[in-house]
Amino acid sequence: MAARVRYHDVQVGTELPAQSFTIRRLDLVLYCGASGDFNVIHWNERMAKSVGLPDVIAHGMYTMAQTGRVVTDWVGDPGAMVECSVRFTKPVVVPDDDVGAVLEVSGVVSEKREGNHVVVQLSARCGGATVLAKARALVRLG
């Protein structure tokens, strides 16, 4: 209810601080437990490959959570998020090594609306590929 970013300080084209997130197998196991989504494709390489995936993949919702952080870290108050939507276009493949996958997220203000609202267009890439399309958030600024 108290976003630290002021509507009047933001313009169309204002870039949010970009972030990169390293995703390892352990992160997916933790997310399975915390979310209750134990789909085998998120932790079992044998089963993932049996359904045609290259390897274990991250939960789409895990990727959405990291993408949303670029917005919530920017505004400070996560409750300033009014809407958030994504389309999952490519899986985030998480190999069984010490490096993991690296998700790179950036965002830019694309529209200013009434009521101190702004639309943020988000980009999420992994291994050079765009993994989310139509990723956007509607945010109420201070």
Partner 1 sequence: MALDPAFVGKQYPPTEPYEVSREKIREFAAAIGDRNPVYRDREAAMALGYRDVIAPPSFPIVVSMPAAAQVIFDPELGLDYSRVVHGEQSFDYTRPVCAGDQLTVVVTVERIKSAAGNDIITTRSELTTVDGEAVVTARSTLVARGPDPDDA
Nearer to partner 1, 13 or 106 (CB): 106
65's CB contacts (< 8 A; 6+ apart) are none
Q: How far apart are CA 10 and CA 49, in angstroms?
A: 46
Under the binding rule (CB under 8 A), the answer on residue 37 touching partner 1 is yes
Under the binding rule (CB under 8 A), the answer on residue 119 touching partner 1 is no
Exposed/middle/buried for residue 97 (C-beta within 10 Å: 0-12, 13-18, 19+) = exposed
> Given candidates 8, 9, 11, 36, which one binds partner 1 under the rule CB under 8 A?
36
> Given candidates 14, 43, 45, 77, which one binds partner 1 under the rule CB under 8 A?
77
Q: Which residue has the tokens 């509607």?
A: 138
Residues that bind partner 1 (CB under 8 A): 1-2, 21, 27, 30-31, 33-37, 51-52, 59-62, 64-66, 68-69, 72-73, 77-79, 81-88, 134
